[in-house]
Structure 1
Amino acid sequence: MNQNRIEQIELNLRAKALNQRKAALDELAEFPSEVAVPILQKLANEKDVALCRLAVMGLGNHQTEASFQALLQILEHNQDGNVLAEAANSLFEFGDVAIPLLQQLFERSDNWLVRQTVISLLMETEHYEVLFAVAVESLKDDTQTVKEAGILALGQVLKTSLQNQALALLTEFAEDSYWRNRWQTAIALHGCQHPQARYLMAQLQQDEHFRVVAAALESASG
């Protein structure tokens, strides 16, 4: 392996031009993990948040014990929301072992980007009990977009044995004073044929806000 090329990649990872950094990261992804991971670990220790985030992205390309442990260290010691959200994405590449870690990250973080990232990742899995627990917590969040992500997550839970619990929460939001919560509830109900869901969709079709009505009509047709 060409040592000069490795050294050039390390330099390019720290280049000012973003396209150079990205190209170097892509090239490093093709290297053996025993070569790439130490380079990325070194990069992760940089004070520059952009460089640390780049390192975290790269670690997701190498599903080894060393890269997994490096990501755990980042979760433990880094406080930047952008870095932690990227770490969640990289951890997700490791499969089921990452699920409890993502739940823990959600519970201890109050950063909107971190929380929304975790919710979106969990929605790609079949870990419905974890998704439901995270969704319930997100409904208490002061950040509206996090709350809305939680409402949409409840829609995915409607397909499971937790349907009744999810419907109970969606029933509350179907009558919420803020139209955006009713709007997201209408979207979450898409395709659900439970009698209570159909009742809520009929109710939302009569809503005072046009976006809620449109979403309810689409959900009913689905």
Structure 2
Amino acid sequence: MELHQIETYIDSPDPQNRMKAITELRNYEPDLVVPLLKRRMCDQELIIRSFVAMGLGYKRTDEGFELLLDLIEHDRDYNVRAEAANSLAKYGAEAIQHLVQLFRQDPNWLVRYSIFAAIDLTNNPEILLELIVLALKGEDLVVRQTAIANLEQLANTPQKSIALELLLSAAKSDQGTIRAQVAKVLRHFEDPDAETALMNLRQDSDYRVVAATLEGLV
């Protein structure tokens, strides 16, 4: 589709046309794409705003970065905020502080899960630990499981002892899925307390927990 056709379609009253226009923008350079995506940032259709957020991650410019910051702060739908967070992470180190702030302020499970999945904190274990602690204080089971899984990244960092304390505490959870996730991560910690906890989990009443303790042995 030619650019002039895209410009016509992107302002169409028909959402199918607007979606087609956004899809066709994949063939153009970021400096041309971002201003057109900006037109649909406040679209009434959730799916279109989500595609705008996605597009701003693939067609990266300074303006696109600012537009994503606007989306994570102001969009009313958590699906769009989650997609915007995923796109923002593609900008690398300059996005980290904004994603951390979003994690602190937005308790929605999908937003937090998306940040965990997208952000690379390999060189920032102290920030990763902060996000994990925040997640473990939340209510959502999926996010808590994801936080526990991420504790594995701290096994060989200065944050190891705190990470192990969090694991040992989570090993006493009344949720079997949480205890099972703990069992998967504990084996990455070379520590007598970790070994003792694993032995106890091997006797757990939930078969999923017992299976998790055996995964690293086969």
TM-score computed with the length of structure 1 as normaliser: 0.88
State whether structure 2 residue 173 is matched by structure 1 residue 176: yes
Q: Secondary structure at the match of 1:94?
A: coil
1 CA distance for matches of 2:169 and 2:181? 12
Where does residue 164 of structure 1 map in the other structure? 161
Where does residue 4 of structure 1 map in the other structure? 4
Of residues 134, 139, 147 in structure 2, which corresponds to 1:137?
134
Of residues 204, 209, 212 in structure 2, which corresponds to 1:212?
209
Farther-moved stretch of structure 1 (192-201 vs 2-11): 2-11
Q: Secondary structure at the match of 1:159?
A: coil
Q: CA deviation at 1:196?
A: 2.4
State whether structure 2 residue 112 is matched by structure 1 residue 120: no
Q: Gapped runs of 5+ residues in structure 2? A: none
Q: CA deviation at 1:194?
A: 2.8
State whether structure 2 residue 52 is matched by structure 1 residue 40: no
Supply the AA of the counterpart residue of 2:194: A
1:22-33 equivalence runs, <5 A:
24-33=21-30
Of residues 80, 85, 93 in structure 2, which corresponds to 1:83?
80
Q: Gapped runs of 5+ residues in structure 1? A: none
1 CA distance for matches of 2:38 and 2:13? 12
Deviations 1:31-84 (A, max 9, x none): 122210011011112122211111001111122101001111112221310000
1:122 and 1:131 in contact (8 A); partners too: no
2 CA distance for matches of 1:113 and 1:185? 21
2:7 and 2:36 in contact (8 A); partners too: no
Farther-moved stretch of structure 1 (68-77 vs 87-96): 68-77
Q: Secondary structure at the match of 2:184?
A: helix
Of residues 173, 180, 188 in structure 2, which corresponds to 1:191?
188
Supply the AA of the counterpart residue of 1:193: E
Q: Secondary structure at the match of 1:50?
A: helix
1:186 and 1:216 in contact (8 A); partners too: yes
State whether structure 2 residue 143 is matched by structure 1 residue 146: yes
Q: CA deviation at 1:107?
A: 0.6
Q: CA deviation at 1:14?
A: 5.8
Q: CA deviation at 1:177?
A: 2.5
Q: CA deviation at 1:15?
A: 4.3
Q: CA deviation at 1:151?
A: 1.4
Specify whether residues 217 and 99 from structure 1 end up closer, same or farther in structure 2 by C-alpha distance, changes over 3 A only: same
Farther-moved stretch of structure 1 (119-128 vs 138-147): 119-128
1 CA distance for matches of 2:13 and 2:154? 41
Q: CA deviation at 1:186?
A: 0.8
Give the share of equivalent positions with the same residue, in percent: 33
Q: Secondary structure at the match of 1:44?
A: coil
Supply the AA of the counterpart residue of 2:199: A
Farther-moved stretch of structure 1 (121-130 vs 163-172): 121-130
Q: CA deviation at 1:204?
A: 1.1
Deviations 1:140-187 (A, max 9, x none): 111211221211122222232111100011111112222222111112
Specify whether residues 94 and 31 from structure 1 end up closer, same or farther in structure 2 by C-alpha distance, changes over 3 A only: same
Q: Secondary structure at the match of 2:182?
A: helix
Specify whether residues 191 and 34 from structure 1 end up closer, same or farther in structure 2 by C-alpha distance, changes over 3 A only: same
2 CA distance for matches of 1:76 and 1:47? 17
